């Protein structure tokens, strides 16, 4: 600290310079903190998405195994092997049909974004009524007559 700082007699220029330096340091620190948090969150998101991919792959590989287990389980109840596989395949088709019906019902409920469309129409109506700002010409303003324009 200088003698001026000890007495509290700093000039306006020194105060502005100090405030600017402190604000700059604060902004840089905030940016560094945000980067560190984003880096950490991105790492977590990457690990989480990789875990989802592995889980999905394992579930996909488990489906045929479970299908065979179900078919052989039905076969052990005394039904023929072909009929057992046919029952399991039919169950999958019924499940797929139910899911398709649910999907179609959900798709039919999708509506147009009415609020967005209305907002866009209102904005277009306002913009159509707006008049452009008149350009100032050299004849309207004598100071512009002395300004030379480049030929580029």
Q: What is the pLDDT of residues 11-34, one digit of tens each?
A: 888 888 888 888 888 888 888 888
C-alpha to C-alpha distance for 121 and 127, rounded to whole angstroms: 10
Comparing CA positions, the residue from 74, 106, 108 lying closest to residue 88 is: 74
Q: In the numeric block, which tokens belong to residue 80?
A: 């023929």
**Which pLDDT value is given to residue 42?**
87
C-alpha to C-alpha distance for 144 and 137, rounded to whole angstroms: 8
pTM for the structure as a whole: 0.47
- Phi, psi for 147 (deg, rounded to 5): -80, 125
Structural contact between residues 67 and 92, judged by C-beta atoms closer than 8 angstroms: yes
Structural contact between residues 43 and 56, judged by C-beta atoms closer than 8 angstroms: no
- For residue range 124-133, list pLDDT tens digits in order: 887 777 776 6
C-alpha to C-alpha distance for 97 and 121, rounded to whole angstroms: 41
């Amino acid at each position: 600290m200088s003698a001026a700082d000890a007495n509290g007699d700093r000039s306006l220029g020194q105060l502005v310079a100090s405030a600017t330096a402190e604000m700059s340091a604060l902004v840089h620190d905030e940016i560094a903190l945000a980067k560190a948090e984003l880096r950490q969150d991105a790492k977590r998101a990457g690990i989480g998405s990789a875990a989802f991919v592995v889980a999905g792959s394992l579930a996909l590989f488990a489906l045929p195994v479970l299908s065979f287990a179900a078919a052989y389980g039905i076969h052990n109840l005394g039904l023929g092997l072909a009929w057992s596989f046919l029952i399991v395949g039919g169950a999958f088709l019924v499940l797929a049909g139910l899911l398709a019906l649910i999907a179609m019902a959900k798709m039919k409920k999708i509506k147009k974004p009415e609020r967005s469309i209305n907002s866009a129409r209102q904005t277009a109506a306002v913009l159509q009524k707006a008049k452009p700002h008149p350009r100032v010409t050299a004849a309207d303003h004598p100071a512009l007559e002395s300004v030379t324009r480049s030929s580029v």
